[in-house]
Amino acid sequence: MGVPLVKAMRRLWPILLLLLSCGASDGGALEDPDHDGLTTAWEQKWGLDPTSADTDSDGIPDGDEVGDLDNPTDSDGDGIIDAIESAILDSDHDCLPDQQDPHNTVPDERPDLIAKVACTRTGVCNSDAVKAWCENGTPYCDFSAVPFYESEEASCDGLDNDCDGKTDEGFTLRGIPIGFDCDAQGICGRGVVECAKDGKGAVCSTGPGGSEDRSRPEACNGLDDDCDGETDEGLTYKGAPVGAPCTGEGECGPGVVECDVLGQATCSSNPGQSQDASTEEICDGLDNDCDGETDEDAVIPGSPVEYCKPAGVCALASGEAVLICRDGAPACEWHGVEGYSGPVEAKCDGLDDDCDGPTDEDFVLDDPLFGPSHVGEPCGTGACAGGTVTCKNGGVACSTMEKATNETCNQQDDDCDGVVDNGLYKEYSNIVFEAMTGGPRPRASVAVAACPQENVLYIYGGAARTGPDGTPLEALSDLWRYDLLSRKFTRVSIGDGPGPRAGAQLLPDPKCKRLFLLGGVLSPSAPDGPLWVF
């Protein structure tokens, strides 16, 4: 073999090896010309087209539909694997695609299969409660019986209620979707956006209503404790909010509402605050130390011996005087004196029991005629007139009260209470009688004037006819005089007179010599017309 032949063999040898490696001996059975991951031999075995990656043209590659190569998927169990049966073609128009229809040529739709195949199964719709039916080859789905189903997501509850593959979409907190980090307001800090407990919105997990709620009742401390975006809100001092002008307790004067060490709102001029205006308590009737009390623990300068001069029962016995603050001024408190009543007279006895000089000055009689009266002053009214206020049984009484008796109907104040014949009334005999005929016609809203000294009544006008609500429709213009003794009506001539009136007022003068008519309705001059005199 010459050199040229050796060189030629070296060139051909790689080609021969390539031919051998390509499987020339198996006729291409191990090839995958459609690149669907299945060999030609396997596709030919199961009836697939080795040159088409999607034999049934349903948009799903054969390799994805086959599944287990030893036991290819046959969803409807009709002996035809899914790679050959279309997932979209419905040969018998029974709303079941061939891949899910055991009988591709027989319209035998089953609602349960239609619901599983044609209706969405995502979210809460993955339920046997989904109902379906077929009409003219078109499937229809009914989700109304599916628990928690909503045609549009309306509840924030961790479920895909509208079965669109998304959970709680549309619910955000300040633009942050569910499940993302958030910052709650105030002291509540970092958390995660989650559904509110009522399912109507989103909250931060660390904020009010969240699963890790860190909020607490608002305290006066410059912080947003309840995490509502406001600081120290709702905390007031005498109705004024933090930062507003205020007036401190007692004599502490004006300031600004601020927080104290206990987390309460107070005025800056109060004790212990930034503008403390309190001073030492003195005896002046004021709250100098601004603690809500007046003259407590006030020190009284001077000597009791020099200041306290014995009077009343205190001048009759030896005792010890102590200086105290009373009603904003220094006062004396006596110890060891028999009969001493303290700062107020204890009984009305003609003695100065409180040792202040006046006698029985704290006892006052509320007289019906003279009003508040002290011992020695005049009192009494009615049958008890002409009395004097005196002490009686430790109290005060009017000296003439023994003249008081039970009230009788006699135009006198018998029980001395300042009221005549109170609690009594007169009974009148039956005075109903039939008046003479021929008098004025029946009417309503008539004007009446009485003259008891002459036993006479006068009537003018009135409504001869009224509407359903009592409104006068027709008024009269006549004046009549009625004599109570003779029981007779007499018409009084008044010429043209004031004209028809209903609801007017008729008033006599004191001697009943003249009558005055004013007001009324259904007259051109009423109710603002002139005053008529008869």
Whether the CB-CB separation of 397 and 390 falls below 8 Å is answered with yes
Q: Give per-residue pLDDT as tens, 312-369.
A: 888 887 778 888 898 899 988 888 888 888 888 989 999 999 888 899 999 999 999 8
Tens of pLDDT, residue by residue over 137-156, are: 899 999 999 999 999 999 99
Residue 246 near residue 275 (C-beta atoms within 8 A): no
Mean pLDDT of 368-389: 94
Same-domain pairing of 397 and 356 = no
- pLDDT per position as a tens digit, 468-506: 888 888 999 999 999 988 888 999 998 888 889 898 999
- Residue 180: what pLDDT? 97
* pLDDT score at 10: 37
Q: Classify residue 524: in a domain, yes or no.
A: yes
The pLDDT, as a whole number, for residue 528 is 60
Is a pLDDT exceeding 50 seen at residue 69?
A: yes
Beta-bridge partners for 348:
394
Does residue 384 belong to any structural domain of this protein? yes
- Asked if pLDDT for residue 12 goes beyond 50, the answer is no
pLDDT at 521 over 60: yes
Indicate whether 203 belongs to any domain: no
What pLDDT sits at residue 26?
A: 53
Kindly state whether residues 418 and 477 are assigned to the same domain.
no
% of the chain residues with pLDDT over 90: 53
Q: Is residue 257 part of a domain?
A: no
In tens, the pLDDT along 115-144 reads 988 899 999 999 999 999 999 889 999 999
Q: Using CA atoms, how far apart are residues 491 and 459, in angstroms rounded to an integer?
A: 10
Q: Give the residue from 317, 345, 362 where a domain finishes.
A: 362
CA trace torsion 68, 74, 79, 80 (10° rounding): -100
Of 289 and 78, the structure prediction assigns the larger pLDDT to 289
* Of 358, 355, 360, the residue nearest 335 (C-alpha): 355
Q: Residue 27: what pLDDT?
A: 56
Q: What is the reported pLDDT for 300?
A: 87
Say if 324 falls within a structural domain.
yes
| Over residues 61-88, mean pLDDT | 89
Q: Are 234 and 267 in contact (CB under 8 A)?
A: no
Pair (473, 513) in one structural domain: yes
Phi, psi torsion values for 43, nearest 5 degrees:
-65, -40
Report the pLDDT value the prediction gives residue 249, as an integer from 0 to 100. Answer: 97
Residue 328 within a domain: yes
Same domain assignment for residues 488 and 413: no
What is the pTM (predicted TM-score) of this model? 0.45
The strand pairing partners of 259, in sequence order, are 265
Higher pLDDT, 519 or 213: 213
Position 254 in a domain: no
pLDDT at residue 306 tops 70: yes
Q: What's the average model confidence in pLDDT over 440-446?
A: 89
Residue 408 included in any domain: yes
On the question of pLDDT at 436 being above 80, the answer is no
- Domain with 405, as residue range(s), is 370-427
Looking at the structure of the chain, the number of domains it has is 4
User: Residue 231's closest CA among 187, 261, 269?
Assistant: 187
Rounded distance between C-alpha atoms, residue 222 and residue 231, angstroms: 6
- Among 318, 340, 362, give the residue marking a domain's end: 362
Q: Note whether 323 and 375 are same-domain residues.
A: no
